[in-house]
Amino acid sequence: MGKSIANKYFDSDWPSTLSDRHSKDWPNAIRIIRSRFESRYFKQIEVLMASKEKEIKFNCGFLVMTIDCLLIETLHQFHLGLYHTNELYKNRNAQAFIDFFNNSSYFPFFNGNDEASRQFYWQIRCGLLHQAESKSQSIINIRENEMIIPNDQTDLSKGLVINRNLFHNALVKEFEMYIKNLENPDSRNTNGDFLREKCHRKMWSIVC
């Protein structure tokens, strides 16, 4: 049957003609990519966040943010056509998050604020993925009216308060924009490279 690459899709389903960004097979390829993100991650998060069990609904913040951090890194790899983050960002992975946030219009707190992105990387991404906890005095909840509020406006190292619902919703919008851009064969990333060519390179590393 081959290797699963998305719900109901296997490596043999990935079209071999995508080196041509105008290939008629791109719509199917885009469906596979959408399915890969939605069936493995987004739909599961939706279930957690909408759970009728309060113990799950109000205590899934760390899990949601952990997956979101994973998806940020993965989506950035798709944008740039990277097999893995270290291919471009070896020993400076925080820069990948800085670049992602600076190139997104859905996370205004981070736009042009490299230190905020760096602190998010260390306190949230690294804290959750390596120690299963947020670092410094960072807090993840659903109470705030803003997506991100620093504990100290003058010293971001003292922690960030993150509304995980607002953060996750922004990431979903970023993904939808990526899919929309993929539908146009002439769409380019911030480096001026064609998105479809970079997407194909990334998926080829997964399929092979």
pLDDT of residue 158: 97
Q: Give the mean model confidence (pLDDT) for residues 82-109.
A: 97
Q: Is the pLDDT of residue 23 over 90?
A: yes
Q: Is the pLDDT of residue 82 over 90?
A: yes
- Average pLDDT over the chain reads 96
Contact 121/94 with Cβ under 8 angstroms? yes
Q: Cα separation of 19 and 34, whole Å? A: 19
Q: Give the mean model confidence (pLDDT) for residues 123-133.
A: 97
Over residues 46-63, the pLDDT tens digits come to: 999 999 999 999 999 999
Query: Checking DSSP bridges between strand 139-141 and strand 160-163, what pairing results, if any?
Result: parallel
Query: Checking DSSP bridges between strand 9-10 and strand 139-141, what pairing results, if any?
Result: unpaired
Q: Is the pLDDT of residue 1 over 70?
A: no
Over residues 140-199, the pLDDT tens digits come to: 999 999 999 999 999 999 999 999 999 999 999 999 999 999 999 999 999 999 999 999
Q: Is the pLDDT of residue 108 over 70?
A: yes
Query: Checking DSSP bridges between strand 4-6 and strand 160-163, what pairing results, if any?
Result: unpaired
pLDDT band at 208 (very low <50, low <70, confident <90, very high): confident
Backbone angles phi, psi at 159, to 5 degrees: 115, 155
Q: Per residue in 134-143, is it b (16+ CB within 10 Å) or e — as a string?
A: bbbebbbeee
Q: Is the pLDDT of residue 4 over 70?
A: yes
Q: Is the pLDDT of residue 2 over 90?
A: no
Q: Give the mean model confidence (pLDDT) for residues 121-132.
A: 97
Q: Cα separation of 25 and 15, whole Å? A: 6
Which token pair is 189?
């990333």
Q: Cα separation of 11 and 3, whole Å? A: 5
